[in-house]
Amino acid sequence: MTLVRPATALAAALCLLTATARAQYAERDTVPGTGPAADVSGRSIKNKRVRAVHTSDPTLLGGTANLIRRDPFLAYQLGRNLNFREFRTRDGVFSSIAGLAGPMPDGVTAKITANNHVSCSGCHNLPQGNPGGGTNFSKDSGFGRQAPHYYGAGVVEMIALQVRAELLASADANQDGWISAAEAQAAPQHAVVSAGAGPFGAVDYGTLRLDGGATGKPGLNNIFRVWYVDAAGQVVPGATAVDGTTTHGYVFAMIVWGWGQGAGRAALNPTNRAFLWDPWATHGGLQAHDPSTLADPDGDGVSLPTLSGAVQFPATHRAPDAGNAVDVLGFSTDDPDGDGYLTEISEGDLDLAEFFMLNAPRPAFAGTNAQYRDGVGLMAAMGCAECHVPDWTLRPADATFAGDRRVFDLDVRWNAASGRLEGTLVRLHTVGGSDLLPLRGRFHARGVFSDFKHHDMGAGFEEVDFGGTTNRLWRTAPLWGVAAGFPWGHDGRSLTLEDAILRHEGEGAASKAAWLAASPAERAALLDFLGRLQLYDIESLPADVDGDGAIANHFVVAGADTGVERFNAEWLFQVPLAIQGPIVNGDGVTVLSNCGMNTNAAYGQDLALRKDSDDDGWPDVWDHAPNQAGFKDGVNN
């Protein structure tokens, strides 16, 4: 929607920013000697916590459409900082501490400990300050859940939406967005999609046909969640099958995030946007209001695309703040947890955090192309590549597919001469007037290593949950970045990669047998290959970001030598961040201070829709008292 703002709010947006002290560890925006909130490393969050304002008009300065289309690296960095920010009481975090939430399959037993993290980085933190993973915590059972990394999250989401689009197109003859009973009967016997070229290009997801012929349920893999629609293609709440009377067809989504939820239940989140608002609510008690998810004009349970270009699925996934009551300034006053803090996560916050996830750099292979080919050959010989499908190709945009929606790619390769991973910033956008628009072309994603299916992994990965239900169905873990995935397994119970391999039973039994039959040299070679599937520290990675084909040892930004050229999005803002430069520390040693000297200008904190004069987290355009701090709603504390 285009933002509508009262004239008084616009006038208030011109007020000067007042300086206040901020006590949060992660938010450090001063320079040494001027206050306690300093960070010479430059890695802490520099920008204030101000709710982002969703807009569709890119001319509205500081709105999310403006940032995403005209200052995309600032939008990326703001989204990155939302992912890693430690939220405070003044931001509305936690309505209670460490309560229990969510029912298990028995409908009674609580599933998870809620209200236990103030930041996404509480779990997604290896390597620190990156979209990593590795942390283990109790979720469905006392054995735990390993938090996944989300490097390459945009690629993962695009694969999931492409799989859905290809399957839908194979049966939806009239292209109305849902599969009728008649279309299901005429669908191909097998729901097969193409991952790309090569021997592992076809992935079979079951069948789109109904188990009763003209009625019943489709036989899709458990990675999909299905809902049912009437003769007009509108969602029938609570329906469980096509019955030919009230329900005449179905729609589905691939639930790409989440390890597995047992027979008949897909995993957790179908999109990056849902991956954000769901844990923010569960772990942080921060309820998001998201009209973008609810933008479903034809009522089929599939939304219009967000600013990042991803459809959402309101039939199954709705943000917890429904926005039944909306203030005259445009924010929700529902307060679903009753703590007095309104619109704790805004639609605009989700825009920016989703944009970061869309463009999050991919994992890397720390080896040569020949080593990659040899490793894939070893996996194929042991049968591993049948489930851990090595590569996927995103199709270019056309009537069926959305194409690669990212605006840049950080292509990270091993440089044998320097003995290190190095990056190249590849711009995936074109300029249309004042806007930067994604090219939406083809992209080959090497080294994903997943078919994104749920498989019965047998007794080796069996789990008895809190309520007593047994589960052996687990999503094929994408292996990119697996070398940094310690510990391993959905439950984090494997302390070595070999132990994770030896737990493969059920549908993985043949690969386990091939491993046991392999020679010691073959096993060592495969473990060496897996050890090269690496994550890395994004912001310190040496990288060519200016496109001159070289990595400078002294990269100058805003007149200052920042050291080795690297991918720091702050260097790429419309107003690049200027750093403090060399300083003498308390030990009398000269060090490079990366403290920002122009944070307000670089981070756009004086732009009309971002300005927060009273520093209460409410932008002036959303604040009934823009010069009086009121953390709960702009007025009250």
State the greatest distance between any 2 C-alpha atoms of the chain, in Å, as a whole number: 81
Average pLDDT over residues 354-359: 98
Confidence at 12, pLDDT banded by 50, 70, 90: very low
Of 12 and 426, more confident: 426
What gap in Å lies between CA 74 and CA 424, rounded to an integer? Answer: 19
Q: Where are the alpha helices (DSSP H) in 54-130?
A: 64-70, 72-84
Query: Containing H/E element for 7?
Result: helix 7-12
Question: Does residue 310 fall inside a structural domain?
Answer: no
Give the pair of three-digit tokens for residue 181.
């009973």
Number of domains in the chain: 1
Local structure of 494: helix, strand or coil:
strand
Question: Does residue 243 fall inside a structural domain?
Answer: no
Question: Does residue 489 fall inside a structural domain?
Answer: yes
Structural domain for 373, as ranges: 364-467+475-538
Question: Does residue 78 fall inside a structural domain?
Answer: no
Name, in order, each residue with C-beta under 8 angstroms of 458's C-beta and a sequence gap of 6 or more: 472, 504, 505, 506, 507, 508, 509
Above 90 in pLDDT, residue 436? yes
What gap in Å lies between CA 205 and CA 218, rounded to an integer? Answer: 11
Closest alpha carbon to 25 in 33, 37, 34, 42: 37
Q: How many Cα atoms occupy the beta-carbon half-sphere of 527 within 13 Å? A: 15
Q: Where are the alpha helices (DSSP H) in 178-234?
A: 181-186
Inter-residue contact 528 to 539 (CB < 8 Å): no
Q: Where are the alpha helices (DSSP H) in 295-368?
A: 347-359
Inter-residue contact 472 to 558 (CB < 8 Å): no
Above 70 in pLDDT, residue 3? no
Above 90 in pLDDT, residue 13? no
What gap in Å lies between CA 251 and CA 249, rounded to an integer? Answer: 7
Local structure of 385: helix, strand or coil:
helix
What gap in Å lies between CA 225 and CA 189, rounded to an integer? Answer: 19
Looking at residue 35, what is its pLDDT?
85
Domain CATH number, residue 441: 1.10.760
Average pLDDT over residues 315-335: 96
Q: Where are the alpha helices (DSSP H) in 172-306?
A: 181-186, 272-284, 291-294
Question: Does residue 149 fall inside a structural domain?
Answer: no
Confidence at 340, pLDDT banded by 50, 70, 90: very high
Question: Does residue 531 fall inside a structural domain?
Answer: yes
Average pLDDT over residues 238-254: 98
| Pairing verdict, β 473-475 and 556-557 | unpaired
Above 80 in pLDDT, residue 122? yes
Looking at residue 11, what is its pLDDT?
31
Structure confidence by residue, pLDDT tens digits, 23-62: 345 799 889 888 888 999 999 999 999 999 999 999 999 9
Above 80 in pLDDT, residue 19? no
579 forms beta bridges with 596
Average pLDDT over residues 193-215: 93
Inter-residue contact 239 to 231 (CB < 8 Å): no
Average pLDDT over residues 109-123: 92
Question: Cβ of 336: how many Cβ atoms within 10 Å?
Answer: 16
Inter-residue contact 67 to 74 (CB < 8 Å): yes
Looking at residue 411, what is its pLDDT?
98
Above 90 in pLDDT, residue 359? yes
Of 134 and 631, more confident: 631
Inter-residue contact 185 to 193 (CB < 8 Å): no
Structure confidence by residue, pLDDT tens digits, 71-100: 999 999 999 999 999 999 999 999 889 999
Structure confidence by residue, pLDDT tens digits, 515-563: 999 999 999 999 999 999 999 999 999 999 999 999 999 999 999 999 9
Inter-residue contact 505 to 513 (CB < 8 Å): no
Average pLDDT over residues 116-122: 92
Question: Does residue 315 fall inside a structural domain?
Answer: no
Looking at residue 6, what is its pLDDT?
32
What burial class does residue 517 get, using C-beta atoms within 10 Å of its C-beta: 0-12 exposed, 13-18 middle, 19+ buried? exposed
Above 90 in pLDDT, residue 369? yes
What gap in Å lies between CA 427 and CA 616, rounded to an integer? Answer: 36
Looking at residue 199, what is its pLDDT?
84
Question: Does residue 422 fall inside a structural domain?
Answer: yes
